[in-house]
Amino acid sequence: MIQIHTIEEWRDYAAQLRSAGQTVGLVPTMGALHEGHGSLVRRAVADGAVPIVTIFVNPRQFNDAQDLAAYPRDEAADLANCEAWGAAAVVTPSVHEMWPTSPATTATTVSVTGVTELFEGEGRPGHFDGVASVVTKLFAITGPARAYFGEKDFQQLAMVRRLNEDLSLGMTIVSCPIVRDEDGLALSSRNVQLDGEGRRVALGFSRALRAVADRPRTARDVRAVVRTALESSGIAVAYAEVVEPLLLDPIGNQHEGTARVLLAGVVQGVRLIDNGDVTIVSSEGE
């Protein structure tokens, strides 16, 4: 496995792989890697792609300076993990390499409307513009045939699918299921910011998702059950909504079939998200 620091070397490396007929698989991350990230790299290997992992804590997608400063970093462990998972290269560019004129004054912003408006978009102004701008840059440098994203960030995944279609980027976007700890907590780089008590509270997310996954329910029922489960766990709820899985429109009372529950809340000052499938039955005429 090689480590790359500069855009020039990164672009050349990916171009060489493509001209040798290899399938380049991009795995964008912000580091502090765990088995959730590992599942993306392993999936790329299983697909026969050459996995290039990028590790970049992108200042442009943080609307809160404290959140950016507190974001966990552990490059040595990340490199060891990437090697074990089968990455071919890890790219660790500096902020200056990615945004030479400073993140805040970069003139170009990529903005995806629609799917980004609610949920994380509402709670974190500018977040998705920052993500869309950085992933577009990663795609432009790497030229991957395939790009791997986790369902953990469900709204981000929906946005990247739109970006890929609207700008005809021609990649295959591969979505990977949420990896959880044995107790049900979705793996997240942010979990290290919780103590034992915080972890116990955060288990409310997976408990809420399990509570509505047992049988088909009306959307109204789903909203009520998950909110109660979160609040009784001590989570300060940011949102608890049930949406149509592609466009993320909140579903009305005519919807039937599979939908996605999107949850966000704050535990010990740390903003956490989770999501899962539910089956909805119409509540029309109730």
* Cβ contacts of 240 within 8 Å, gap of 6 or more: 208, 223, 226, 227, 230, 261, 262, 263, 264
- Residue 47, judged by CB atoms within 10 A of its CB (0-12, 13-18, 19+), counts as middle
Stretch of residues binding ligand AMP (CB under 6 A), selected from 43-51, 144-152, 164-172, 236-244: 144-152
Angle between helices 219-233 and 196-212 (to 10 degrees): 160
How many Cα atoms occupy the beta-carbon half-sphere of 177 within 13 Å?
4
- CB closer to ligand AMP, 219 vs 263: 263
Give the C-alpha separation, 43 to 47, whole Å.
6
- CB closer to ligand AMP, 37 vs 255: 37
Give the C-alpha separation, 118 to 249, whole Å.
9
CB of 37 to ligand AMP, least distance (A): 5
Binder of ligand AMP out of 13, 56, 149, 205 (CB under 6 A): 149
Q: Within its chain, how far is the Cα of 76 from the centroid? A: 22
Sheet holding 236-243, edge to edge: 236-243, 257-267, 270-280
> Cβ of 75: how many Cβ atoms within 10 Å?
14
Binder of ligand AMP out of 25, 130, 150, 276 (CB under 6 A): 150
Give yes or no: 34 in active site: no
Closest residue to ligand AMP, judged by C-beta, is 150
- CB closer to ligand AMP, 81 vs 189: 189
- Structure tokens that stand for 110 in this block: 């990529």
Q: Using CB under 6 A, which residues numbered 238 to 267 contact ligand AMP? A: none
How far apart, in Å, are the Cα atoms of 99 and each of 7, 59, 60, 106? 11, 9, 9, 7
Does 138 participate in binding ligand AMP (rule CB under 6 A)? no
- CB closer to ligand AMP, 112 vs 280: 112
Does 29 participate in binding ligand AMP (rule CB under 6 A)? yes
Does 159 participate in binding ligand AMP (rule CB under 6 A)? no
CB of 198 to ligand AMP, least distance (A): 17
CB of 151 to ligand AMP, least distance (A): 6
* Cβ contacts of 126 within 8 Å, gap of 6 or more: 60, 61, 63
Q: Using CB under 6 A, which residues numbered 34 to 53 contact ligand AMP? A: 36-37, 39-40
Q: 244 and 229 in contact (C-beta within 8 Å)?
A: no
Does 208 participate in binding ligand AMP (rule CB under 6 A)? no
- CB closer to ligand AMP, 55 vs 219: 55
How far apart, in Å, are the Cα atoms of 259 and each of 219, 244, 277? 9, 5, 6
Stretch of residues binding ligand AMP (CB under 6 A), selected from 65-73, 149-157, 163-171, 213-221: 149-157
Binder of ligand AMP out of 54, 188, 193, 206 (CB under 6 A): 188
Q: Which active-site residues does the annotation give? A: 37
Residues that bind ligand AMP (CB under 6 A): 29-30, 36-37, 39-40, 149-150, 152-153, 176, 178-179, 186-189
